[in-house]
Amino acid sequence: MSDESRPHRTAAVIPAAGRGVRLGPGAPKALRALGGTPMLIHAVRAMARSRAVALVVVVAPPDGAPEVRNLLDEHALPDRTEVLVVPGGDTRQESVRAGLAALPADITSVLIHDAARPLVPVDTVDSVVEAVRDGAPAVVPALPLADTVKEVEPGAPGEPEPVVATPERARLRAVQTPQGFDLATLLRAHEAIAVSGEGATDDAGMVERTGVTVVTVPGHEEAFKVTRPLDLVLAEAVLARRRATDVY
């Protein structure tokens, strides 16, 4: 629950320590170029564009913190943006935990944003922050699905898998980042998951398991995650259009 007596101060943690195996061989994904600029720099700028974000913590590949610090120093960011860099871990969950540990004591709420979602528009960031500041302990940007989803009995790669269920699509959402949290709520969830040894593919999922209600706000198509090579083609096209129109 939020402590309403404290003034709001929001930080963004950007996990950027992944390898990017699904994108194919090359540098760690967050350091690969999009429109000639590392994907991570786009993601930091996307957070810094929100006037609500007071501090950004970048979680670098475990042995890459000095390189990431240099990159940040070489690229222009809004003057008011303070950026810390910490080394990450072997999983996204560990990396987020390392970022949370670096937050100063006056932070009340936090956005967790994948470096792999470099093009999230500022309006989406602002609507997540606003919902948290309005009192929601956990907020995710979400979009309805275009495909029908099947639950299967997982089998060997490439082999047919029996379908066990077809969830009602109207009740499903694809969730994006930034995911926004009352900081104390997210810290409690990470602690509980670390103790139980369970894994989770997103931070909101951890919070759900502690019994706290997570709510959605509208996501944005351009907040997609760069995961596979085709995503990079789409990201280049979106960025080229933005640069031509100067609309971010």
Ligand X SMILES: C[C@](O)(CO)[C@H](O)COP(=O)(O)O
The site for ligand CTP (CB under 6 A) is made up of 15-22, 29-30, 59, 88-92, 95, 114-116, 225, 227
State how far the alpha carbon of 1 is from the alpha carbons of 96, 183, 226, in Å. Answer: 20, 9, 33
59 binds, options ligand X, ligand CTP, none, Cβ within 5 to 8 A by partner type: ligand CTP
**Least Å distance between CB 220 and ligand X?**
13
Pairing mode of beta strands 173-175, 82-87 = unpaired
Q: Let me know: does 209 contact 193? Beta carbons within 8 Å.
A: yes
**Least Å distance between CB 117 and ligand X?**
7
175 binds, options ligand X, ligand CTP, none, Cβ within 5 to 8 A by partner type: ligand X
Pairing mode of beta strands 109-112, 179-182 = antiparallel
**Least Å distance between CB 245 and ligand CTP?**
26
201 binds, options ligand X, ligand CTP, none, Cβ within 5 to 8 A by partner type: ligand X
Q: Pick the closer one to ligand CTP by CB: 225 or 242.
A: 225
Q: Which of 223, 210, 48 is nearest to 138 (CA)?
A: 210
Q: Let me know: does 85 contact 60? Beta carbons within 8 Å.
A: yes
Q: Which residues pair with 82 in a beta bridge?
A: 55
* d(C-alpha 142, C-alpha 174), whole Å: 5
Q: Which of 20, 204, 186, 31 is nearest to 99 (CA)?
A: 186
**Least Å distance between CB 120 and ligand CTP?**
12
Binders of ligand X in range 215-234 (CB under 6 A) = 225
Residue of 20, 114, 226, 232 interacting with ligand X (CB under 6 A): 114
Q: Which of 70, 83, 217 is nearest to 141 (CA)?
A: 217
**Least Å distance between CB 127 and ligand CTP?**
21
Q: Which residues pair with 85 in a beta bridge?
A: 58
Query: Tell me, what DSSP letter sits at residue 212?
Result: P
Based on the shown chain and the rule CB under 6 A, indicate whether residue 173 belongs to the binding site for ligand X: no
Based on the shown chain and the rule CB under 6 A, indicate whether residue 177 belongs to the binding site for ligand X: yes
One-letter amino acid for residue 243 of the chain? R
Burial class (CB in 10 A: 0-12, 13-18, 19+), 204: buried
Which residue's CB comes closest to ligand CTP?
Answer: 18
Q: Pick the closer one to ligand CTP by CB: 15 or 180.
A: 15
Binding mask 69-108 for ligand X (x = CB under 6 A): -----------------------x----------------
Q: Pick the closer one to ligand CTP by CB: 75 or 225.
A: 225
Based on the shown chain and the rule CB under 6 A, indicate whether residue 175 belongs to the binding site for ligand X: yes
